Chain A
Amino acid sequence: MKGMSIIVKKVSQLIAGIIFLYGIYIVLHGHLTPGGGFAGGAILAGAFILIVLAFGTDIIHLKHDEERASLFEGLGLLAFILLAILGFIIGIKVFFNNYLPKGQLGELVSAGLIPLYNIAVGIEVCAALFTIFLALVIYKEEISK
């Protein structure tokens, strides 16, 4: 995939970091403000897609990225399921049991497991969307060769 002009590259260098930071904020504050794992994960994936579209790399690097992205996707789903299953072992025997202490309403560290669920789902959604994009781009590159 070819990169774009130098103006686009410089601007996306500046912007992508800010988008990434905003995505992390949305994921971490999911239980206090609008947002959460789904929205934050999609925003994080948008930052990665912007980088790939602006700079453009050769096919070997893209394949390497795709493998790592799909690894992270599996890890995110696994973390989500493990957090839910731990409820069987600790406390009452309920799936999706919120076994951590709740804390004060409105604090950043509160709501027990919900921030951890948010982080796991955020990683999963981000990696899934990025993998889809990379798979389509790799297909296009292999076709045009």
Chain B
Amino acid sequence: MIVYILCFILFLVGLFGVLTSRNIIKIIIGLTFLEISINLFLVLIGYVEGGQIPILVKGSENLHFVDPLPQALVLTSIVIGLSTNAMLLAVAIRIYKKFKTFDIRKIRSLKG
């Protein structure tokens, strides 16, 4: 049970980073933490004590496996996370070219 709580704390750290950082790169880092904590939480739910890796090997007939469903969902989610992160970085460096800064308060004041 303590693992779930620690996972939730990691989520809160990411939320804190997203809402209070002034640097765009740090906001993107905070979003990465959010995504990592959610992925870890999904895989933690599917863990079975003493379960095996969900791959059938010749000879072993023991059908006591870890749940393969959350793993399959997280597998696609990781690659999506990378692509959306790269897109946010592209937006960030375009903002840097226009305003010459990463600080969101200055961007807001420059825009008026």
Contact = CB atoms under 8 A, between A and B. Distances in A.
Nearest to B97: A143
Interface string A103-138: 001100000000000000000010011001001100
Contacts of A34: 53, 55
Contact of A128 (B53, B83, B90, B97): B83
A132 B83 contact: yes
Interface stretch (B5-13, B19-27, B74-82, B104-112): B74-82
Nearest to A31: B55
Interface SS, A side:
helix
Nearest to B90: A136
Chain A interface size, under 10 / 10 to 19 / 20 to 34 / 35 or more? 10 to 19
A145 B58 CA distance: 59
A57 interface: no
A28 interface: no
B82 A33 contact: no
Interface residues of B, number: 16
A38 B86 contact: no
A128 B83 CA distance: 9
A47 to B, nearest CB: 17
A46 to B, nearest CB: 12
Given A136-B90, A139-B93, A38 B75 contact: yes
Interface string B59-73: 000000000000000
Interface in B4-43: none
A42 interface: yes
Contacts of A38: 75-76, 78-79
Given A34-B53, A106-B56, A42 B97 contact: no
B69 to A, nearest CB: 16
16 contacts: A32-B55, A33-B55, A36-B75, A38-B75, A38-B76, A38-B78, A105-B56, A106-B57, A125-B79, A129-B82, A132-B86, A135-B90, A136-B86, A136-B90, A139-B90, A143-B97
Q: Which 9 residue pairs across A and B have the least CB separation, nearest first?
A: A132-B86, A38-B79, A106-B58, A38-B75, A125-B79, A143-B97, A105-B56, A34-B55, A128-B83
